[in-house]
């Protein structure tokens, strides 16, 4: 039987969140200001820069929130002019953080977040069904951290990252007349982060942060072939009923962030960020099956799929105006660069050069603050020219997201 080339994604979601499969939705207040990071007003700064918790104006700070993400991807085949749309469920990234000032010069904190992942769902009979029909990725980052004030105006912070994740991917296997599902809910990885935070005077906040790569390792994945039982012997799975194992490693990339906030007046501030994402390390993906001969010719059980990602950048500008001690209005804009070219477009991670407008409102009730935000994305359409998958056409996306967050500062 002809060998089947398995192209595994281990990635999901709409790239318009950020370049690659990074989900830039970690703080509701931050999202309203284009997801800028130099804001040490509550514990939500912990994810962006552990050094920032030293400048939170409270002994104890707690922040939590969640988002709703509505997205639709449309692909038109230039050969047949047939259009296909995704029918993905609402994405719901969440976050929570706490920071505590042990001493004036020493603070500790903890951040929980979901910075990578989502779900994308294509029709079962579409042109790229052999690449992906449905793909769900979940990641959970747990970050304990510590921050030390080096001077009244400067701090250094570091964090340890423990990550867990889940992959659930279904694709069509035309040669076998059925589907293949790859599932693993015990993928893990480790990393670190560190940064410096500065408040040289009453007008400036400056943040410099680095987050390391995290290699998510799926060591005990389950591969289920939903095909005729008569074909099980042909793929070496007669004794297991069409079930095999697989191993794979997904690289979650590193990120450098430079951010600054300037207080024009006591009521009005402007923020800006530059992000650099190290996507070039995701140049291929290797999938190692236990028994099924569905890999490359040199090694029947191993599939090596080119990805050819490139490093990408994001530029962000946001502003906040305090209409009163209780009400804050926020606006922002950012440009997010796709991490691959038209020749490397892949429908399991559809990415676009993306322009996003953001906004929101904050309400402060003594120690408690409530924040709401929303964003509208305007991704540029793409001419798909991927010869590896024999996929040619035009892709475009519609994305909107919104968030609700709470924070509590005990002085």
Q: Which among 14, 32, 114 is positioned nearest to 374, based on CA atoms?
A: 32
DSSP code, position 73: E
DSSP code, position 295: S
pLDDT of 255: 94
Burial zone of 115 (CB within 10 Å; 0-12 exposed, 13-18 middle, 19+ buried): buried
pLDDT of 251: 85
Please indicate, yes or no, whether the overall pTM of this predicted structure exceeds 0.75. yes
Cβ atoms of residues 305 and 320 within 8 Å: no
pLDDT of 384: 94
Q: Which fold has domain 20-410?
A: Porin (2.40.160)
Dihedral-angle region of residue 241 (phi above 0 means left; psi in -120 to 50 means alpha; beta otherwise): left
pLDDT of 286: 87
Distance CA 154, CA 281 (A): 33
pLDDT of 296: 67
pLDDT of 197: 98
Q: At 97, give phi and psi (nearest 5°).
A: -155, 155
Per-residue pLDDT 10s for the chain (411 aa) are: 333 444 433 433 333 344 445 666 789 999 999 999 999 999 999 999 999 999 999 999 999 999 998 889 999 998 899 999 998 888 888 999 999 999 999 999 999 998 877 788 999 889 899 889 999 888 899 999 999 999 999 999 999 999 999 989 999 988 889 999 999 999 999 999 999 999 999 999 999 999 999 999 988 899 999 999 999 998 889 999 999 999 998 888 899 999 999 999 999 999 999 999 999 998 888 889 998 887 666 788 888 888 899 999 999 999 999 999 999 999 999 999 999 999 999 888 888 999 999 999 999 999 999 999 999 999 999 999 999 888 999 999 999 989 999 999 998
What DSSP assignment string belongs to 332-386?
A: EEEEE--SS-GGG--TTS----EEEEEEEEEEEETTEEEEEEEEEEEEPPEEEEE
């Amino acid at each position: 039987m002809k060998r089947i080339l398995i192209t595994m994604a281990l990635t999901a979601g709409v790239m318009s969140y950020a370049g690659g499969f990074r989900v830039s939705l970690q703080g509701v207040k931050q999202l309203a200001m284009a997801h800028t990071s130099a804001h040490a007003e509550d514990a939500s700064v912990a994810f962006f820069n552990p050094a920032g918790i030293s400048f939170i104006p409270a002994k104890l700070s707690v922040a939590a929130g969640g988002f709703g993400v509505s997205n639709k991807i449309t692909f038109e085949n230039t050969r047949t002019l047939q259009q296909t749309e995704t029918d993905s469920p609402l994405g719901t990234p969440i976050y929570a953080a706490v920071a505590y000032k042990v001493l004036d010069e020493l603070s500790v904190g903890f951040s929980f977040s979901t910075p990578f992942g989502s779900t994308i769902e294509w029709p079962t009979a579409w042109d790229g069904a052999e690449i992906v029909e449905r793909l769900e990725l979940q990641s959970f980052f747990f970050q304990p951290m510590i921050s030390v004030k080096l001077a009244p105006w400067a701090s250094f912070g570091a964090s340890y990252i423990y990550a867990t994740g889940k992959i659930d991917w279904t694709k069509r296997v035309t040669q076998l007349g059925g589907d293949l599902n790859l599932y693993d809910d015990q993928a893990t990885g480790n990393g670190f982060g560190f940064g410096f935070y500065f408040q040289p005077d009453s007008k400036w906040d400056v943040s410099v942060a680095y987050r390391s790569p995290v290699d998510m390792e799926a060591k005990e994945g389950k591969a289920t072939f939903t095909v005729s039982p008569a074909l099980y012997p042909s793929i070496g799975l007669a004794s297991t009923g069409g079930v095999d194992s697989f191993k794979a490693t997904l690289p979650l990339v590193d990120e450098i962030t430079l951010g600054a906030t300037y207080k024009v007046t006591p009521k009005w501030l402007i923020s800006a960020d530059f992000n650099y994402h190290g996507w070039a390390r995701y140049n291929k993906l290797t999938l190692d099956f236990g028994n099924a001969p569905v890999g490359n010719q040199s090694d029947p059980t191993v599939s090596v799929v080119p990805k050819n990602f490139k490093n990408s950048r994001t530029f962000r500008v946001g502003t906040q105006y305090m209409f009163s001690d209780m009400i804050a209005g926020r606006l922002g804009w950012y440009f997010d660069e796709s991490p691959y070219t038209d020749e490397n477009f892949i429908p399991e991670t559809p990415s676009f050069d993306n322009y996003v407008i953001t906004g929101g409102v904050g309400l402060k009730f003594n120690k408690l603050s409530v924040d709401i935000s929303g964003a509208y994305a305007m991704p540029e359409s793409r001419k798909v020219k991927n010869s590896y998958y024999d996929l040619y056409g035009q892709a475009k996306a519609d994305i909107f997201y919104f968030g609700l967050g709470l924070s509590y500062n005990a002085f």
